[in-house]
Amino acid sequence: MQTYKRRTISLMVAGLFSTLAPNLMAAEQDPETRIRQLEQMMQQMQQQRAEQDKQIELLTKELVGIENQISQSKIAKTEEKGKSEGSPVYAAFKDGLVFDDGSGNWKLQINGRVQADYRDYADSDWRTDTFNIRRARFGGTFTFLKDYAVRIEGEYANATDGSRGTTALTYGYLDINWWKQARIRIGQFKPFFGLERAYGTNFTDFTELSLATNNGASFNSTYDRGVMVFGDPLPWLNYNAYVINGSGQNNDELNNSATITGGIAVITKVDNTKDIGFRVNANLAKLMNIENAVIHVGGSYSDGSVAYSSASATGISQATEANGVSFFNVAGLQNADADRRRQGFETALAYGPVKIQSEYISTNYRGDRSGQRYDNDINAWYVNVNWMLTGEAYADSYKSGVFGRIKPKNNMAMGKSGWGAWELGLRYSKFDASDFESMLPAANAGTAYTPKADAWTAGVKWIMTPNARIMLNYIRTDFDTPITVAGKTDDQEKALIMRAQYDF
């Protein structure tokens, strides 16, 4: 570069001198001589211009050569550090950590969640106020060759009574996605029955499910093992159909049960028919091209038995929405060939930031207990209304027959104007098992149950970002008749639950 500068300055000085010198002598010469001199000067200037062009061309080539040397030097240094012979791996965050090869041959998505609760039970000896890890899960989904996916997820929260830690499989299945209209799922999964139970637990309207759908008398578990076909045959229509054990999470179904009588094992044959069920739902707003709205209608049905398994209880029971006291309990059904048939109807109407949702579920039990035949129903329902104060639309979170992740218009961030999304909610739910009243345990000094209860839940939800939220719920449960548990009698349970949640 220094050589280039020196050559350029020399050429400029020479050109300037050659131009000025003749001008100083011009005044002493006649016109003809002056013309000849000017012609000679023009020729000299043309020759000088040609020489300058050659010099510039040489300098340009020299600069290009220097740049090539620098580039080759950088490449050599990179090679000295090592190089990858395989395809690159790309990483991103999209509701989970995602790694893929960019071609669609494989993708790995890492997911997890933590739901940390504080539960306060007012004036009750049934449950102790406590900090609680409601859910702590970690897992991943591996997709390969675009059409196949394997999902594994574990639950690491403590047992609800605090007596032991639990590490249990929640999801463990293979998806075969040859057709969007009929995807196949095999393994342990959540069979979809009803709207509220089809929600992901990250996106429920309240901290807990209603009396109609929480695990209890009608549903022995969220997860089960079997095979399911599901899909969206039309943009506004969704369905699923399944065959499962019906024996609950992490349980294989057993055909025989054993009891000890007089020191002798008595084997009882149990008729364990598989649970067969389906759910069909439609979004009529999509069908009628109504923007910013959801008109959801649907129904569910299942038929099977109260299956005996290695870990199942011997009866059916129901707890409050706050996971407080169990107010209903009937024993001795699994080992008596009890048939269970469920049917449900669901609807949700959403327009902009307002949503109204309701379900009705009826469960029929038929069987023989201690020589007595029974044919009893449990009827339960709920209705809730939710309002996004910050204006987010529920339709934006609706997909394939269920509401999902709400994305705030402005995420909460310190030092910025965003405050996330805020939601208010109110729910009423009703549980009625009057048909089983005569089968409830006889009242005594320590225990007394009721077949009917209803609950009010009021909640506020702060969605700081799409992945982080804080929820506060007040739940009041009224029992049809006072219940007695552990010597404490009351006709009401009141609870306050606060939850901090993060999921990815």
* DSSP assignments along 310-355, one per residue: SS--SEEEEE-TTS--EEEEEES-GGGT-EEEEEEEEEEEEETTEE
Q: How far apart (Å, rounded) are the C-alpha atoms in residues 360 and 342?
A: 11
**pLDDT(86) > 90:** no
- pLDDT-derived band at 38, boundaries 50, 70, 90: confident
Residue with more model confidence, 55 or 196: 196
- Take residue 403 and report the two structure tokens written for it: 């509401």
Predicted pLDDT at 14: 53
Looking at 4-13, 152-161, 472-481, which range is the least confident one? 4-13
- The strand pair at 90-93 and 97-100 is best described as antiparallel
| Mean pLDDT, range 277-306, rounded to an integer | 95
Q: Which residue has the tokens 């001589």?
A: 33
**pLDDT(25) > 60:** no
Predicted pLDDT at 271: 52
Q: How far apart (Å, rounded) are the C-alpha atoms in residues 332 and 376?
A: 14
| Mean pLDDT, range 263-288, rounded to an integer | 77
Reported as a single tens digit per residue, the pLDDT across 459-502 is 999 999 999 999 999 999 999 999 988 788 889 999 999 999 99
**pLDDT(104) > 90:** no
**pLDDT(354) > 70:** yes
Work out the mean pLDDT of the chain and round it to a whole number. Answer: 84
Reported as a single tens digit per residue, the pLDDT across 180-211 is 999 999 999 999 999 999 999 999 999 999 99
Residue with more model confidence, 265 or 389: 389
Sign of CA dihedral 320, 321, 323, 329: positive
Predicted pLDDT at 260: 42
- Take residue 159 and report the two structure tokens written for it: 């047992």
Angle at CA of residue 148, ends 142 and 149, nearest 5° = 30
- Take residue 82 and report the two structure tokens written for it: 């090592």
Looking at 229-233, 293-297, 315-319, 442-446, which range is the least confident one? 442-446
Closest C-alpha among 387, 388, 463, 393 to residue 202: 463
Predicted pLDDT at 241: 98
Q: Which residue has the tokens 């129901």?
A: 318
- pLDDT-derived band at 254, boundaries 50, 70, 90: low
Predicted pLDDT at 267: 43
Question: pLDDT > 90: what percent of the chain?
Answer: 53
- pLDDT-derived band at 154, boundaries 50, 70, 90: very high
Predicted pLDDT at 265: 42
| Mean pLDDT, range 451-458, rounded to an integer | 97
Predicted pLDDT at 309: 53
Beta bridge partner(s), residue 175: 149, 185
Looking at 238-247, 341-350, 470-479, which range is the least confident one? 238-247
DSSP assignment of 424-489, as one string?
EEEEEEEEE-GGGGGGSPPP-SSEE--SEEEEEEEEEEEEEETTEEEEEEEEEEEEEEEEEETTEE
| Mean pLDDT, range 428-439, rounded to an integer | 94
Predicted pLDDT at 78: 55
Q: How far apart (Å, rounded) are the C-alpha atoms in residues 213 and 327?
A: 16
Query: If you average pLDDT over each of 11-20, 265-274, 303-312, which comes out highest?
Result: 303-312
- pLDDT-derived band at 261, boundaries 50, 70, 90: very low
- Write the single-letter amino acid at 274: K
**pLDDT(26) > 70:** no
62 close to 54: Cβ distance less than 8 angstroms: no
Residue with more model confidence, 488 or 290: 290
Q: How far apart (Å, rounded) are the C-alpha atoms in residues 345 and 183?
A: 24
- pLDDT-derived band at 149, boundaries 50, 70, 90: very high
Q: Which residue has the tokens 């299942």?
A: 302
Looking at 113-127, 297-311, 400-414, which range is the least confident one? 297-311
Residue with more model confidence, 392 or 369: 392
Q: Is 491 helix (H, G, I), strand (E, B) or coil?
A: strand
- Take residue 359 and report the two structure tokens written for it: 């379900």
| Mean pLDDT, range 7-19, rounded to an integer | 51
**pLDDT(100) > 80:** yes
Residue with more model confidence, 213 or 246: 213
| Mean pLDDT, range 23-31, rounded to an integer | 57
